[in-house]
Structure 1
Amino acid sequence: METPELPLEIITYILSFLKASDRREASLASRRWYDASQDFQFQRNLTFNFPASISSLDLIRGLSRHPCCSLVINHLDGSSMSRAVLQQIGCHLGPQLKSLSLPGSSVTESSLLALLPQLTALRRLDLHGLDSLFMSGAFLSREDHRQQVRVALASLEELDLSDLRYLSDLTFNRLTGCTPRLQRLSLAGCHIAFEFDPYRGCPVGPDSSALLSLRNLRRLLQEQASTLQGLDLSRTSITPESLRSVAQVEGLSLKELRLRGCKELTDSSVEVLCKHQPGLQVLDLSACTELTYRAVLAVAVGLKGIRNLSLSRNWRVTDKGLAELMALPDLRTLDLSECLHVTGAEAVKGLSAPEPRARLETVSFKSCTYIRDLAVFSLAQLLGSSLRELDLTSCVYLTDLSVRAIATYLPGLAVLRLGWCKEITDWGLLGMEEPAKGV
C-alpha cells in the first residue's frame, strides 16, 4: 500500500519552519517538495544574476510572476540585444524591481534613461564602474529627463557610484538631485578633489565639470543629513582634514563608514571622527597604514555601540587598546587580519574582565604570526557559544592544541579557517593523539 501524498499546502507549511539551506535540501526529495519550495513566501529578496543575452529575455518575462526581486545584469552595451533586455526589464519588472546592478557594462545614456522612469519601486541602484554614462558629462543634462528620473527614484535608499573615473560635481549633483532620501552612498575609488584642483593648482570651486570635490560632497551630506546613514569613501585620497570636515557636518549621524585603503588618515582624524559620529555601528579602517593603538582606543572610548570593526592590514596596530575594545558589549565582528604585532593577550585580558564585554561572533587573526596556542585556548574558553566564524589562516605557530581547544569550547562554530598553519597535523584535525614513534 502506497503512502498518500501530502497536500502541497501542508508541505509548504512544513518548509516554512526550515532555514533556507535546509529548505533547499528538502526540495530535492521529490518534484512535489520542489514545487512547494518555490512558493512565493520563500522567494522574498531574491537576486537574479545573468548576462545580457537572447536567453535572458524569456527569464525576465518569467520573473514577472515574482512580487519583488533584484537584478544583477552583466555585460550590457550599446547593442540592440542590450537595449531589448532593458526594455523587457522596464516592461515586465518595472513596478516590482527593488535593486538593479549593472557590473562590467557600458550601457548608453539613452538606454538607461528609457529604463529608469519605469523603476518606480527601486530602492538600490548600482552604477559602479559605469564610465560610459559619465564620460561625456551630459548625463541628465536635460530638465525633462531629470524630472522623470526624480519621480521614479524618489524612494531610492542606496546608490553605488564607486570606481567612476569621470564623475564630476555637475553629473553628481544632477543624479543625487533625483534621490532626495538616500540612506547609503558609495564613492569608493572615485577621483575626489579633497584639497585642491590638480588642473588649476587652487581650491576646487563648486559645480566643477571635471572633478568631484569635497565641497560638493559636503553640500550633499548637509542636504541629506536627516536620512543618510552609510558612506563609503574607501580607496580615495581623503586627508585627515577632509575626514574631520565630513565628520562635523551638522545634523549628520552615520551608522556605517568605510575608509578601507585611505592611507593618509591619522590617529587624530579618527579621534575627531569618533567624537563627532558616536552612533557608528560599522567602521572599516582596513589598510589605513598610518593608524596606531590611538585609533583603537578612540574607537573603544567614542563608539560604544560599534558592532563591526575592521582594522586589517594596519601594521602599526598592536595589542594596546584591544582590552578596552573587548569591553564594548555590542561588538560582534572584529577583523585584525595582517595586524602583524597582535598577540591576542590584551583581547584575552579584556574578555576576562567582568561584564559588560563583547560577544564576538566573527573574528579574524589571519596572518597574525604572534598568535600562539595559549591565546587561542583562552579565547575559545571566553567566547564559548557566541563565536560562529574564526579565521586563523597563516598563524604559523599554532599546533594541534589549538584545534583541540576549538573543538572543546566552541560548539557553535560554523566556519574555521586554518590554511597554512603548518604545525597542525591530521591527528589534531581528527581529534586524536599522535602515536609515539616506534609504537
Structure 2
Amino acid sequence: MELPYEILVYLLRFLPKSDRKSASETCRSWYIAANDQHFLKNKVVIFYKSVINDENSSPIQIFENSFTSYHNFFFNEVELSSKLNDFWIKIGENIKCLSLTSCDVNEKVFVHILQNCTNLKELHIKSCKELFMSGRLLEGKTEGLLVTKLEHLKCLSLSGNQYLTDALFNRFISASPGLEELNLSGCSLQFHLGLVKKFYPNGTDIFQNPSESVLTFHFIHQMIISRADKIKRLLFSNTLIDGAALKTLSEIKNLQLESLEVHACDQLTNTGILSLTSHQIFLKELDIGLCTRVTDQSLVYICKNLVNLENLNIQRCRAVTDLGIAELGKLIKLKSLNISRCELLTKDGLCKGICAEVNVVLEDLDIHSLNLDQTGLIMISEKLPNLRALDLSYCFNAVTDTSIQVIFKNQAFLKVLKISHCDKVSDAGLTGMGKIETETNDDGPIESNYNTEPTLPRIYLGSRAEEEIVRDAKRKRDVMRMCEKISTNSYTGYSLARLKGLRDLDLSGCNRITDVSLTYAFNFKELINLNISRCQQITHQGVEHLVKNCQSIEYINLNDCYNLNDHAVKEIVQQLKRLKQLELRGCNQLTDKTLEYVRSYCEKLKFLDVQGCRNMSPELACSIGSLPTLHTVLMTKPGPYVTDDVKQRSPAPAFLPALMRKLRLH
C-alpha cells in the first residue's frame, strides 16, 4: 500500500537534503514527492566545468526534457553559446535565480538569456570580464521590452567585475525597477572626489550621461537615493569604502537597511560605523570583519543602537578589546556571532558580554584562534546551551580533554563542530573515558582511571619526541582497555557520540586522535562533512569502523594521514555510497590500487585529490578523469626520468587533451 502524496511530502520535510535525495531514488512516487514545489525552491542545478554546447550529448538536455521545473541555475566556468538559445526559450520563464561565475558568454547571448528569463528574482554575475570588457553590454536594450522582463528582479550581484563602469551599472539598474539587494563586492569602486568633478561637472545629469570609464561611488550613492524606499540589503566587501562614504550612505533619507556587508574594507573607520548605528537602527545583519580600523568605540555604539541585530561579524578586528566585547550582552536578539582572530580578547570580556547570564538565543558562535584557557571554554559551554554551530579551531589552550567533554555534555544539539589543530585533545576526551571535573580549579588535562604515565627509567636515553611517542602509545592502550571493559552507561565522562545530530566535524591537525576514537566515538547518522587531515595515527582499522557507523558522509578529507593504505580507501569507497569529495593528498602508502577502487566503486564522486601520492601512476590518475560525475582531479605533475643523462618524459595518454578540463596539475 502506497502512502498518499501529501503524507510523503510532509514526512520528507523532516529529512536533511542528502537523505531526501537518497529517498527520491527509491521509486517514482518518492521521486515526485521529493521534487515537490516545497523543496524545489531551494534546489540548485549546478554546471561546473561542463561541456553543455554539444548538441548530441549535452547534460542540459536532461533539464530541457524534464517534467520537473527547476528554479535555480548556477553556471561556473562553462561556455554559454548561441547553441543553447532553445534551452532558455523552453525553461527561461521557470528560472528565478541565475548565477554566472567565470563563464564565457558574449553580449548577444546574455541579452537573449535575460529576455527569456521573465520571472527572474535574483541575478548573480561574478568575474565574467569578457562580458563587460567592451562596455557595450545592454546598450540600447534597457528601454521598453527588457525592463518588463526584469520587473521581478529583487537581487542584483555584480561582484568581482573589474570592468564595470557607471554606464554599465546604470543599464542594469534601469532594467530592474524593483531592486532590493545590491552586491558590488570586489569591484573597482572609485571614491576620489577629483574623479567625480572630472566626469560629472556641475550641472551634469549623471543618469543621462553616466561615465563609460570608471565606476564611482558618487553614481551609486545617487542611485540609492533615488530608490531609498526599496533598497534593504547592500554588500560592498573588498572595496575602498571609507568612513566618510559610509556616513553619507547611512544618512540617506528614507533608507532603512536590514543587512550591510563591508567585509575586508581596510579604509573603514569609526566615523562611518557611528553614523551607521545612529541612522540605520533596523539593521539585522552586519559584517565588518577584517576592518582593521574598527575599535571598541564602534562596538559600543553597535550594541547600544542596533537592538534588532541578529547576525554580527567582527572577525579579526584587531583593535577590539574586552571593553567592546563586554557590550555584546545588550544584543538580546543576536543569533550568530563571529569574533574569531581578535587577538586582544580574553575570558573576562566574554564573561561580561555574551556569558553574563544564560543565553538561549545565540546559536552560531565562531571563536576561532582566540586566546582563551580551559576555564573560559567551560564558561562558554555552560552559558550558551542552545548552540548549533561552534568553531574552536586553533584555541590551543582552551580545547583540552576536560573542556571538550563539557561541550559534549552541554551542547548536545550541535550540528557543526570545528576543533582544528587543537592538539591537546586525545582519545580520552573524545571517548569520554575519564573523569570530568568542572567545579575545581584544575586546569590540567583529563585523567583516566588508568595510570597513563609510562614507566620510564629515571635517566631516559631517548629524545623528547621518542618519549612522547611512548607516552601516546601507552595512553592509547589504556583508553582502548577502558572502552572494551566499560559499557557506555557505567562511566561519568561524555563521548563525542553524544552529539547525535552532528553534520559537520573538523578534527584536522588533532594528532593525538587514533583508531580508538574512530572505533568508539564515531556513530553519526547525519554526518556529511568530515575533516581528519593530519591525524597521522589513524589507520585502516579505525577507518573500517568509521565508514560503517557514518554512512552519510559526502565530503571526507584525509590529507597527510600517511598511515592509511589501499585497504582503507577500499573501505571508504565501498561503504560511503554518497561520497562526492575525497582528499588523499600526501598519503604516501597509497598505490594504483586506490585509483582502481575509486574507478570501480565511486558512482557520485565529483572531486579527487591525490597530490603527493608518489606511488601512483600519473597515467592511471589521468584515466580516472573519465568517470562521468568527476569534474576535478588534483594530481602531481608526471616527473621526468633520466636515460643516458638525458631527461625524458613518458608520452601523454591519447585521451589526456580531452580530460584537461577536469585535471589540475600541481
Q: Please, what TM-score do these two structures have when normalized by structure 1? A: 0.90
2:168 aligned with 1:166:
no
Partner of 2:75: 73
Q: 1:74 and 1:146 mapped to 2: Cα distance?
A: 30
Residue type at the aligned position of 2:291:
C
Question: Structure 2 vs 1, CA of residues 178 and 407 (structure 1 numbering), >3 Å: closer, same or farther?
Answer: same
Provide the residue aligned with 1:154 in structure 2: 151
**Does the alignment pair 1:390 with 2:390?**
yes
Aligned to 1:136: 134
Partner residue in 1 for 2:363 = 361
- The count of residues paired between Structure 1 and Structure 2 equals 425
Q: Does 1:309 pair with 2:312?
A: yes
C-alpha separation in 2, matches of 1:352 and 1:337: 16
The one-character-per-residue Cα deviations of 1:100-134 (angstroms, maximum 9, x if unpaired) are 11111131111111121111110000112122222
- Residue identity in the other structure for 2:389: E
Deviation, 1:328, is 1.1
CA deviation profile, 1:118-174 (whole Å, cap 9, x unmatched): 1111000011212222211111221x5542221110110000011111111111111
| Paired letter, 2:173 | T
Contact 1:360 1:387 in 2 (8 A): yes
When structure 1 is superposed on structure 2, of 321-330 and 249-258 the one drifting more is 321-330
**Which stretch shifts more, 165-174 or 39-48?**
39-48
When residues 25 and 268 of structure 1 are mapped into structure 2, their CA distance, relative to the original with a 3 A threshold, is: same
Per-residue CA shift, 1:73-104, capped at 9, x if unaligned? 23344xxx62222x133222121110111111
Q: Paired residue for 2:189?
A: 192
- 2:278 corresponds to: 275
CA distance in 2, matches of 1:74, 1:353: 46
Query: Structure 1: how far apart are the matches of 2:247 and 2:322?
Result: 26
Instruction: Describe the shift of the 1:101–1:417 C-alpha distance in structure 2 as closer, same or farther (beyond 3 A).
Output: same
The one-letter amino acid paired with 1:112 is: F
Distance in 1 between residues matched to 2:22 and 2:214, nearest whole Å: 54
Aligned to 1:216: 219
Could you tell me how far 1:10 is from its partner in structure 2?
7.2
Q: Deviations over 1:305-358 (max 9, x none)?
A: 111111112111122222221221110111111111212322222345468x67
1:84 aligned residue? 83
2:97 aligned partner, one-letter code: S
Deviation at 1:7, TM superposition (A): 4.5
The more displaced of 90-99 and 53-62 is 53-62
Residue 16 of structure 2 corresponds to residue 15 of structure 1: no
Match of 1:102 in 2: 100
Residue 318 of structure 1, aligned match among 311, 318, 321: 321
**Deviation sequence 1:251-290 (CA, Å, 0-9, x none):** 1111111101100111222111111111111111111011
Q: 1:56 aligns with which of 55, 59, 63?
A: 59
Question: Which moves more between the two structures, 23-32 or 249-258?
Answer: 23-32
Secondary structure of the structure 1 residue equivalent to 2:241: coil
2:352 aligns to what SS in structure 1? Answer: helix
For residues 25 and 173 of structure 1, the distance between their equivalents in structure 2, rounded to whole angstroms, comes to 42
Displacement of 1:396 in angstroms is 0.9
Distance 1:135 1:395, change over 3 A: same
Alignment of 1:405-416 (within 5 A): 405-416=406-417
- Cα distance between partner residues in 1 of 2:150 and 2:136: 19
CA contact (8 A) 1:15 1:23 kept: no
Q: Which residue of 2 aligns with 1:47?
A: 44
Deviation at 1:15, TM superposition (A): 2.7
Give the aligned CA root-mean-square deviation in angstroms. 2.4
Distance 1:145 1:257, change over 3 A: closer
Check conservation: 2:307, 2:330, Cα contact below 8 A: no
- Listed one character per residue, the Cα deviations across residues 215-274 of structure 1 (whole Å, up to 9, x for unaligned) are 111111011111111101001011211111111111111111110110011122211111
Whole-Å separation in 2 of the counterparts to 1:387 and 1:287? 24
CA contact (8 A) 2:24 2:32 kept: no
C-alpha contact (below 8 Å) 2:315/2:342 kept by paired residues? yes
Which position in structure 1 is the counterpart of 2:27?
A: 31
**Tell me, what secondary structure is at the counterpart of 1:58?**
helix
CA distance in 1, matches of 2:357, 2:340: 27
CA separation in 2, counterparts of 1:17 and 1:209?
50
**After superposition, what is the alpha-carbon deviation per residue over 1:33-58, rounded to whole angstroms, capped at 9, x for unaligned?**
74354342433332100135132231
Per-residue CA deviations over 1:356-386 (Å, capped at 9, x if unaligned) read x672101111111x111111111111111x1
2:124 aligns to what?
A: 126
| 1:12 and 1:36 in contact (8 A); partners too | no
The DSSP-based 3-state class of the residue aligned with 2:248 is: helix
- For 1:326 and 1:177, the matched residues in 2 are separated by 43
Q: What do the CA deviations read for 1:10-69 (whole angstroms, capped 9, x no partner)? A: 762563452334752771784367435434243333210013513223123134x33451
- Structure 1 181/32 Cα, relative in aligned 2: closer, same or farther at 3 Å? closer
Q: Quick one: structure 1 residues 201 and 420, their matched pair in 2 at CA, closer, same or farther if it must change by over 3 Å?
A: farther
2:214 counterpart letter in structure 1: L
Instruction: Tell me whether 290-299 or 28-37 shows the greater mean CA deviation.
Output: 28-37
Quote the offset at 1:197 in angstroms: 4.9
Contact 1:185 1:230 in 2 (8 A): yes
Change beyond 3 A, Cα 1:318–1:57: same
Question: How far, CA to CA, are the matches of 1:354 and 1:339 in structure 2?
Answer: 22
- Larger C-alpha radius of gyration, 1 or 2? 2
Percentage of pairs with the same residue: 26
Distance 2:288 2:239 in 1: 13
Show the counterpart of 2:433: 432
2:543 corresponds to: none
Deviation at 1:302, TM superposition (A): 1.6
Q: Secondary structure at the match of 1:377?
A: helix
Contact kept, 8 Å, 1:27 with 1:37, in 2: the verdict is no
Q: Cα gap change, 1:372/1:203 in structure 2, threshold over 3 Å: closer, same or farther?
A: farther
Distance 2:46 2:118 in 1: 21
Structure 2: tracts of 5 or more residues without a match: 435-447, 455-477, 479-666
SS at match of 2:72: strand
**Taking structure 1 as reference, are residues 297 and 108 closer, same or farther at Cα in structure 2, changes over 3 Å only?**
same
Q: Indicate the residue corresponding to 2:264 in structure 1.
A: 261
Separation in 2 of the partners of 1:342 and 1:203?
46
CA contact (8 A) 1:310 1:335 kept: yes
Question: Structure 1 residues 145 and 60, CA, compared in 2 at 3 Å: closer, same or farther?
Answer: farther
Using the alignment, how far apart are the partners of 1:262 and 1:16 within structure 2? 43
Give secondary structure in 1 for the equivalent of 2:65.
helix
3-state DSSP class of the match of 2:349? helix
